[in-house]
Amino acid sequence: MQTATLVIINKVGLHARPAALFVKSAMAYRAAITVAKGEKTANAKSLLSVLGLGVCQNDEITITADGPDEADALRELIELVQSNFGEPNGH
């Protein structure tokens, strides 16, 4: 099992398009992947579950991957978050 803690810089947080991209990336892997904000934990492969976390800009999330391709899954999700979901920083 591997984990990473990141800060969401996207101005809308982990909602709508960013959440859809996050879930689509997570679904490409066999590993079980969760994302947590505070005490709330969500299945990273479920859009409704991820949206239910209510992640806003500057919130800290923890991503956990557990399975045969956990390292690759975590690496891709970290890159996605750090790239601000392909949007210019702050937008």
DSSP letter string over the chain?
-EEEEEE--STT-S-HHHHHHHHHHHHTSSSEEEEEETTEEEETT-HHHHHTT---TT-EEEEEEESTTHHHHHHHHHHHHHTGGGS-TT-
Annotated active-site residue 91? The verdict is no
* 15, 52, 69, 75: the active-site residue: 15
- Mean pLDDT, each 10-residue run in order, the chain (91 residues): 95 92 98 97 98 96 98 97 83 46
| Tokens read off for 48 | 């409704």
Tokens of 89: 């920083």
The residues spanned by each domain of the chain are 2-85
Topology (CATH) of 2-85: Histidine-containing Protein; Chain: A; (3.30.1340)
pTM equals: 0.93
